Structures are given as C-alpha cells and as structure tokens.
C-alpha cells in the first residue's frame, strides 16, 4: 500500500500568515492526490483534487501543487476559519490511504 507522510505534524501560525503543508508518497501517485480539511467535531471537507484543482466553493487562497511523490498545500493568507487539520489522500491505487494530518493552529 502507498504510505503518505505529512509534515509538519503541527504548524503554529498567526492569521494573515502563509501556511505551507507537505505530503510525500512512498511511490508515485502521478497527480492523483487529494486534500481535505477537518475541523473539530466535523466531517472532512474536500479542498483540492488531482493535486491542484480546487473543489467547488473553496476560496482561492487555497492552492495545491506537486506530482509524483511530493505535494504541497498552500494557504496564502490564513483566515480564522482555516485553523484546522489537513489530510492528504492518494486515489492512485487501492487501498485508499491518508496521510497522518497536519494541524494548523493559532500561534
């Protein structure tokens, strides 16, 4: 199975700052990489699909990049509602696998 490693585990930033989250795959997943956002007590929400495409309704401050094994989720300027946990997920092969998550917390 494909292992996804997210870093850092926790990112402490202030509103208005730029957030850069990393996801590395144990083997190439092409661009079949998805990002989700999860807030406490809520279900995950689709943010980015196919590495760089924003899902419907997702603000332009969220962007994704990468291909192969290295991927990045960038939040250009953090809004208060962006403090949450972010997960990457590969859709290249069965079984679906998720990264361990990056928590973006208020500094």
Partner 1 sequence: QVQLVEFGGGVVHPGGSLRLSCAASGFTFSSYGMHWVRQAPGKGLEWVAFIWFDGSNKYYADSVKGRFSISRDNHNNTLNLQMNSLRAEDTAVYFCAQPDSNNWRQLNYWGQGTLVTVSS
Q: Which residues bind partner 1 (CB under 8 A)?
A: 32, 34, 36, 38, 42-46, 49, 55, 87, 89-92, 94-101
Contact of 38 with 85, CB cutoff 8 Å: yes
Q: How far is the CB of 33 from partner 1 (least distance, A)?
A: 10
Task: Give the Cα separation of 5 and 89 in Å (integer).
Answer: 10
Nearest to 35 by CA among 20, 55, 17: 55
Task: Give the Cα separation of 53 and 104 in Å (integer).
Answer: 21
Nearest to 22 by CA among 39, 40, 37, 4: 4
Minimum CB distance to partner 1 smaller for 68 or for 100 = 100
Minimum CB distance to partner 1 smaller for 37 or for 82 = 37
Minimum CB distance to partner 1 smaller for 69 or for 92 = 92
Q: How far is the CB of 12 from partner 1 (least distance, A)?
A: 19
Q: How far is the CB of 79 from partner 1 (least distance, A)?
A: 22
Contact of 21 with 10, CB cutoff 8 Å: no
Q: How far is the CB of 2 from partner 1 (least distance, A)?
A: 11
Minimum CB distance to partner 1 smaller for 66 or for 99 = 99
């Amino acid at each position: 199975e494909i292992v996804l490693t997210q870093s850092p585990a926790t990112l402490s930033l202030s509103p208005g700052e730029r957030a850069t989250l990393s996801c590395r795959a144990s083997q190439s997943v092409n661009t079949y990489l998805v990002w989700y956002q999860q807030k406490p007590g809520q279900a995950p929400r689709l943010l980015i699909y196919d590495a760089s495409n924003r899902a419907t309704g997702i603000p332009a401050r969220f962007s994704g990049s990468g291909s192969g094994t290295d991927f990045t989720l960038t939040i250009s300027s953090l809004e208060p509602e962006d403090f949450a946990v972010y997960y990457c997920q590969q859709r290249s092969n069965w079984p679906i696998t998720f990264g361990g998550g990056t928590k973006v917390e208020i500094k």
